[in-house]
Amino acid sequence: MKIALSVALALFLFGCSDDSASSKKEEILKQVNKTTQEVKAQTVKVVEEAKKTTTAVVVKVKEETAKVVEKATEKVAPEVKKVEKKIEKKVEKKTPKPIAKAVDGKKLYMSSCLSCHGMKAEKKALTKSQVIQGWNVAKIEDALHGYKNKTYGKAMKTIMQGKTKDLSDADIKALANYISSL
């Protein structure tokens, strides 16, 4: 563009006769138009090359980023698995293990109560509780519900709360019926 303007200015400054001035003017305009078209063509080429280069750089950056992410994932994966295992263990510990549902009160008593209260409920559990042999159904149900709801008990309260927390109402009823029959 600068070249075309310089050519036009040079011709103008040399001074032309009026007759040849219009033809010179046309020639200068043709030269300016030709130069403008050449500059436009070169600009288009430069822009196209810049697009190609930019596209190539973007593709290369994506590829390199993918490699870095893959390497980071490989390094972090074992740590993630360790954390997942720790979380699973914590969830397992905090998930209450249901007491096996007894078919009847006798089986539930044998699996949960026998070791502390004796075969016929004749013992003071760990020598601290009351003997529960001879209690009626209502008294046993009230005591078991009270332990479960944390509203009943003295020395053995904590142990019994753990023993009763997973008992259903049906389990408590079956257990109370069996113990009252001893």
pLDDT of 157 = 82
Report pLDDT for 102.
44
Residue 21 to residue 99: CA distance in whole angstroms: 113
Q: What angle do CA 88, 91, 92 make, to 5 degrees?
A: 85
The residue count of the chain comes to 182
Same domain, yes or no, for 76 and 115?
no
The predicted pLDDT at position 18 comes to 52
Query: Which one of 93, 125, 160 terminates a domain?
Result: 93
Q: Helices 105-112 & 169-180, crossing angle to 10 degrees?
A: 90
Pair (87, 111) in one structural domain: no
The answer to whether position 99 is within a domain reads: no
93, 120, 154 — which closes off a domain? Answer: 93
100-130 pLDDT per residue, tens = 554 588 888 888 888 888 899 898 887 888 8
Q: Which of the residues in the chain have pLDDT under 70?
A: 1-21, 97-103
One domain for residues 74 and 149? no
Does residue 119 lie in a domain region? Answer: yes
Report the 10 Å Cβ neighbour count for 21: 13
> Residue 21's pLDDT is what?
66
Q: Verify that 81 and 123 share a domain, yes or no.
A: no
**C-alpha distances out from residue 75 to 23, 63, 67, 72, 80, Å:** 77, 19, 12, 5, 10
Interval 150-159: pLDDT, tens: 888 787 788 8
Domain containing 153 equals: 105-180
Token representation of residue 32: 């300016």
98 located within any domain:
no
Which alpha helices (H) appear in 15-166, and where do they start and end? 18-94, 105-112, 114-117, 137-149, 157-164
> Locate tokens 């408590």: which residue?
172
pTM confidence score: 0.43
72 falls within a domain: yes
Q: For residue 56, give both structure tokens.
A: 């190539």
Return the pLDDT at 87: 82
User: Which residue's structure tokens are 């389990």?
Assistant: 171
Q: Is residue 11 domain-shared with residue 83, that is, in the same domain?
A: yes
pLDDT score for 14: 57
**121 within 8 A of 132, measured Cβ to Cβ:** yes
Q: Domain tally for the chain? A: 2
